[in-house]
Amino acid sequence: MANTPKKTVHVAVGMVVRDGQVLIAKRQDHQHQGGLWEFPGGKVEAGETTAQALIREFQEEVGLILDPEQMTPLMELPFDYGDKTVLLDTWVCHSTEGVARGCEGQLVQWVAIDELDGYTFPEANAELISRFRQSR
């Protein structure tokens, strides 16, 4: 039987910056790449733009309201984890309303940008963090 190509999951990723810090969340153990830290976001649904997905996901997952006028695309990164292929569509967000909290039971934390290396992220995030730092 021929290998069936894996479906690529389009994921909206938000690097929210506030007072020199960026918001990260810890993936729950039962999730893909569980136990690792990530930048919040989620799957882009059919008929939804990346910006719309980020706005929806941030409200659902961390209780923040993003300002679409303060969101800038950073990069798109396709990545194959072996068991799953993703397209990380990453945006930098400079304005939010609300207090960040783990609405789905996950830990959330504001971290100084130069301290991100102290957290363990999924493999693909190394390139995202590097590009993010270069853009600052």
Q: What does the pLDDT look like over 36-82, one tens digit per residue?
A: 999 999 999 999 999 999 999 999 999 999 999 999 999 999 999 88
Cβ 13 vs Cβ 19: under 8 Å: no
pTM summary value = 0.89
Domain ranges of the chain: 15-135
State pLDDT tens for residues 78-132: 999 887 899 999 999 998 899 999 999 999 999 999 999 999 998 889 999 999 9
Write the CATH number of the domain with boundaries 15-135.
3.90.79.10
Q: Which long-range contacts (CB under 8 A, 24 or more apart) does 27-32 make?
A: 27/106, 28/104, 28/105, 28/106, 32/81, 32/83, 32/84
Q: Report the DSSP beta bridge partners of residue 77.
A: 88
